[in-house]
A and B are shown apart, each in its own frame.
Chain A
């Protein structure tokens, strides 16, 4: 996996370690009826870091992301976001407080163009109300243009100028993932949740995506939590890794520590009984 740009080789414009805790999960448990998806998990995400969440299939990784961005409400435990403990939070409240995400199986607006998809990420930043929009001309139109400029920056950043006007349903999978990242970036999030950003990609696409993730982290200072199965990617990108198995946390630490952990090796390779 030395094809990937190792994080240490890049110029460090933003200090990677900053001891501020951006998000803390305390003793969270989540069950669907009798099925326990997450059991008593605690970890934190520091400001400015790339935090990986890994684990075998069905370990509860995606459920964890869904808890963080408000799709699921845990039965037990608390989530502390920017120092304040939040109870039930709706997804759009999470979004308005700076949590953006992408999905495991691309959730784009398939009928809309790349441009419109990314523009929809600006929804929360646009304030002209219903009646101004009915008029359309004037303030609402100026607002539209101003946001369009920001979106063009993102399009340039992700190098997807050529597909600006293509309906995303027609794009190949790798590009769809990139557009989805663009939509999340358009929200100018503080915390970006990436659910398997590289699933189903070939090596070249993975390299591109890794580069974008590192750039987002370092240039914009965005904190990133990502779920990924490709261990090479995880070890290269992340500052710290939390490992889940059957809904429980089995390891937490630097990539090197986690790799050495016996519990992790057992979870991935299986143990002989």
Chain B
């Protein structure tokens, strides 16, 4: 038993390095996708202290809008641009209808509001696009398909799906852009100001409404990218909403307010899940991938409650 837990998995890793590399790659890709979802949460949490329950359904909604437009004869790229527009309108409406009347309410109220928003979007989405899963228009958008196999060692093979490579590249570009945007520009500075102190931000003439609309729009764009990438790997369906909860352990690991934290947290969960499943899952009959992330997060909570990069809150009494 002890041998199975502590020694055998590492022996396997050593004996079949190609398989190990494949697992690492799978973990990397899963991690990137988790990070993308977590990023959507972090953006809104940073600016308004709201845990946006609706991020998952925004992913589905963005994906469905894109596919739905294309099904109705809109060319793929035009559909993409229109979907970005729809996410903009959605962001503006959320700010106007949900956020603005609730300014200065306790966080729990805002959380409840986003739960309400989730159910609204589910109903609205099903009403417009129907409930059945749809195929993501990955080809039409020019996303690469197929795969490349690399030979490794004597008879090993490592297979990279092109779509996964594309997902990684797009995620990295998005993260870099957001990083520069939030650290180097006026709006980014305003956003951090709003996150720190609402009153002070108002007093220097920052419009909370504008900032919130921008943040929700950015989260909408991240949702769209996530929707395309997840959709391309499976289908676009309301079941995708569930993956949003995978963002929770990622956020606990990385800290709710940190963009790099979201990335690193995503990667740790991604790697942890795949490696755990393939090397240790067999011991308990497999299927640990779905809950291992939460266990990892729990263990982290014990040692670093604020997450890897989160802000450490020290209250003075």
| A contact residues vs B (CB 8 Å cutoff) | 69, 71, 90-92, 95-96, 100-101, 103, 107-112, 116, 119-124, 126, 128, 130, 133-134, 136, 140, 143-144, 183-184, 186-187
- Are A95 and B214 in contact, with the CB atoms below 8 A? no
| B contact residues vs A (CB 8 Å cutoff) | 177, 180-181, 184-190, 192-193, 195-197, 199-208, 214, 311
- Are A144 and B192 in contact, with the CB atoms below 8 A? no
| Binding site secondary structure of chain B | helix
Residues of chain A within 8 A of B208, CB atoms compared? 92
- Are B206 and A120 in contact, with the CB atoms below 8 A? yes
Smallest CB–CB gap between B224 and chain A, Å? 16
For A120, the closest partner residue in chain B by CB is: B193
- Are B204 and A112 in contact, with the CB atoms below 8 A? no
For B192, the closest partner residue in chain A by CB is: A112
- Are B187 and A133 in contact, with the CB atoms below 8 A? yes
Contact of A124 among B181, B189, B204, B311 (CB under 8 A): B204
Q: For the complex, what is the distance from the CA of A143 to the CA of B189, rounded to whole Å?
A: 14
Smallest CB–CB gap between B269 and chain A, Å? 26
Q: For the complex, what is the distance from the CA of A136 to the CA of B188, rounded to whole Å?
A: 11
Residues of chain A within 8 A of B199, CB atoms compared? 71, 103, 107
- Are B311 and A120 in contact, with the CB atoms below 8 A? no
Residues of chain B within 8 A of A69, CB atoms compared? 203
- Are B184 and A101 in contact, with the CB atoms below 8 A? no
Q: For the complex, what is the distance from the CA of A93 to the CA of B189, rounded to whole Å?
A: 19
Smallest CB–CB gap between B178 and chain A, Å? 10
Residues of chain B within 8 A of A109, CB atoms compared? 192-193, 196-197, 200-201
Q: For the complex, what is the distance from the CA of A100 to the CA of B181, rounded to whole Å?
A: 27
Q: For the complex, what is the distance from the CA of A107 to the CA of B204, rounded to whole Å?
A: 11
Given A128-B186, A136-B184, A144-B185, also A120-B202 (CB < 8 A):
no
For B205, the closest partner residue in chain A by CB is: A95
Kindly list 18 other residue pairs between chains A and B, CB separation below 8 angstroms, not including A112-B196, A123-B205: A91-B205, A92-B205, A95-B205, A103-B199, A107-B203, A109-B200, A110-B196, A112-B189, A112-B192, A116-B189, A119-B186, A120-B193, A123-B186, A124-B205, A130-B214, A143-B186, A144-B184, A184-B203
- Are B196 and A123 in contact, with the CB atoms below 8 A? no
Q: For the complex, what is the distance from the CA of A113 to the CA of B197, rounded to whole Å?
A: 14
Q: For the complex, what is the distance from the CA of A126 to the CA of B206, rounded to whole Å?
A: 11
